[in-house]
Amino acid sequence: MIIQRLFRQMSVTQILSAVSTTCCLLIDSVVICRLLGVESMSAYGLASPFLIVLTALGTMTSVGIQVVCGKAIGAGDREGSDNCYSAAIVMSLGMALCAVVMIFALWRPICSFLGAGEAVPENRIFFLTGDYLKGYILGAPFFFLSQAMTPFLQLGGRRKTLLVSVAAMTVVDIAANLVSVYWFHAGMFGIGLASSLSYLAAFLVGLGFFLQESCPFRFRRQGVRWQGAAEIVSGGSPVIINQICFTIRVFLLNRLLLAISGTEAVAVFATVSSLGNVFFSVGLGTGTVALMLSSVSYGEEDRTSLCELVRVMFRQTLELITGTILVVELLSPWLAKLFLGGAPDVLAIATPALRLYSFSLIPCAIVVTFKNYYQGTNRMALTHLISVLDALVFTTLFPWLLSMPYGLTGVWLGITVGELAVQLAILALAWVRHGGISFSAETLSMLARDFGAKKEDYFDASITDLNSAVEVSEQIRTFCKNRGMERRTGYFVGLCVEEIAVNTIQHGFTKDNQSHSIDVRLVVKDGNRLIRMRDNCVAFDPTAYMELHSADSPESHIGIRMVMNMVKEANYIHTLGLNNLTLRL
């Protein structure tokens, strides 16, 4: 119940974040093209490969943090999450320092390598490229730190802070671009500096959360280890593989389009891809959420939640991306004219290209969401395989094959067919592992048979009010009795759940007008009894609360005091906007 609500809430945040980031890139290109001219646009294009490398490194760090820190949080390992946080900060600053030194020390050979030619006075493009890189690289520390902060803001349940951070980045980028061009006449250096200032704005907005006492992440110098950085790189490695494959794919498809229809088709493909990135923010958003939630549930060894996540992410991704495609289909002629002008021959190619290309976003979003889910559940070999098939093999092979009978139309159609082929490949792998054709969440989850507790070893329920709290308490007593426990033991287990649930309902459900629930899980395994309770109320740590009021009279706070006296160990963490309390009896 909580997973369904949480997935939708987090997806909205991530989608808006992805849309804003992509729009910033579009805004930069529009300002440069319209206000600074063709030479500046060429310099921007020549600098793009270097920016792609920086973006790939930043995204790799962000994804790696989601995997490593998510698993640590799921396992209740506070030290592990702090170590990940500490390693991420040092790693981000280290990459930023290397990038800054590289540009200011080696900008001339870098510009030549990027294709800007030689540093001669008449070659304006060379110096425009260098100016842009210098202005942009000044924001490298804030760019890398912002990328690292994003998953921690999500894991810390600060979705609103993340949205404000992204909004600030977008507004500052637009304003700084216009000011640098119209007021300071700073040229390409000003455009690059505008991006740096936008990253600074995003960083400053998010920084407030990490300076608060309530922030669940702490920087520890002893936590900065090579091993921690290596784990982050390993967790984010599919990003690098995907980027390499995607770059090769664009190169091969450009060659194919040149052979079929010339430079106009290549320009259309570049525009369609850029617009596709904006609309594919839906897939990127749901994929990011799938990665984060699967990492946490995998760390908890919660098979039930992972299977529920598979059902939820497939249904909600399909709903969101289908709605997006309908919008693209309606706006295709207008979008093509907006970005490519009114030339009839170009529009004749662009409008059907955008419409056909948009259909590929449906299977692509589903593939990306499942790929991220498998990454979060530690299926790295499978994740790498899907990355290669999706970013290169099938989405290059089918456009080439279909271009033979259908020409340019076959290229656009082949991208969709390639994405569908990747989706079928995932199904085939799941069926082989399962031993038969099945579309169940259990089959598609591809979890090891011995992963998590067996069905007879755990009890799951959801509490929404006082009556259901009493009912669940009774069900737990029955469960304990069926497991052969003493009646007294079952009574105490049920009482623990009931006391915490009633306290949460009375004090947490009434804090706002939102809908709330409590997910309860009891695991009985190898003689151990573990209770995990999760709710979406305001943050409240009962363990810290009892420490704070330990000197109060025994009659005060009697419910929580009684529970804490009955358990051997109690761990609390607030993550993803949820209270997570684990009690070991």
Boundary of a domain, candidates 452, 487, 506: 452
Whether 46 maps to a domain, the answer reads yes
> SS in 3 state form for 192-228?
HHHHHHHHHHHHHHHHHHHCCCCCCCCCCHHHCCHHH
- Going from the C-alpha of 381 to that of each of 145, 160, 241, 378, 384, the distances in angstroms are 29, 35, 12, 9, 5
Give the number of domains in the chain.
3
126 and 155 share one domain: yes
* Tens-digit pLDDT profile for residues 76-120: 777 888 889 999 999 999 999 999 999 999 999 998 988 888 888
The answer to whether 555 and 561 are in contact (CB under 8 A) is: no
| Average pLDDT of span 187-210 | 92
Residue 146 CB coordination number (10 Å)? 27
The pLDDT tens digits of the residues spanning 435-470 come to: 999 999 999 999 988 887 777 788 888 888 889 989
Residue 470 and residue 532 in one domain: yes
Say whether both 209 and 248 belong to one domain: no
Q: Are residues 448 and 364 in the same domain?
A: yes
- Rounded to an integer, the average pLDDT of 340-355 is 73
pLDDT digit string, tens, across residues 121-163:
888 889 999 999 999 999 999 999 999 998 898 888 788 888 8
Neighbour-count burial of 527, counting CB atoms closer than 10 A to its CB (0-12 exposed, 13-18 middle, 19+ buried): exposed
**367 and 413 co-located in one domain:** yes
Identify the burial level of 234 via C-beta atoms within 10 angstroms of its C-beta, where 0-12 means exposed, 13-18 middle and 19 or more buried: middle
| Same domain as 371, residue 287 | yes
The pLDDT score that the predictor gives to residue 288 is 86
Domain membership flag for residue 231: no
Residue 545 falls inside a structural domain: yes
48 and 178 in a single domain? The answer is yes
Residue 41 phi, psi (nearest 5): -65, -35
Looking at the domain assignment, is residue 9 inside a domain?
no
Angle between helices 78-113 and 124-137 (to 10 degrees): 170
**Same domain, residue pair 278 and 337:** yes
3-class secondary structure, 523: strand
The residue from 401, 431, 452 where one domain ends is: 452
Alpha helices in 32-77 (DSSP H): 38-74
Which of 148, 182, 215 is the last residue in one of the domains?
215
407 and 529 inside one domain: no
pLDDT value at 523 more than 80:
yes
State the pLDDT confidence band at 338, using cuts at 50, 70 and 90.
low
pLDDT at 548 over 70: no
6 within a domain of the structure (yes/no): no
- Cα dist. 462→159, 466, 480 in Å? 24, 12, 18
306 contacts 354 by C-beta, under 8 angstroms: no
Beta bridge partners of 199: none
| Residues 511 and 557 reside in one and the same domain | yes
Residues 432 and 528 in one domain: no
Q: What is the pLDDT of residues 11-45, one digit of tens each?
A: 777 777 777 777 777 777 777 767 787 788 778 77
State which residues form the domain around 413. Answer: 237-452
Residues 406 and 497 in one domain: no
We report the CATH number of the domain holding residue 511 as 3.30.565.10
Check residues 432 and 352 and name the one with the higher pLDDT: 432
Residue 561 token pair: 């005091």
| Integer angstrom CA distances of residue 442 from 2, 330, 426, 439, 485 | 19, 37, 14, 8, 30
Tell which residue, 242, 254, 224, has the closest CA to residue 52: 242
Strand partners, 535: 518, 579
224 domain residue, yes or no: no
Domain membership of residue 157 (yes or no) is yes
In a domain, 1, yes or no: no
- Judge whether 261 and 340 are in contact, CB under 8 Å: no
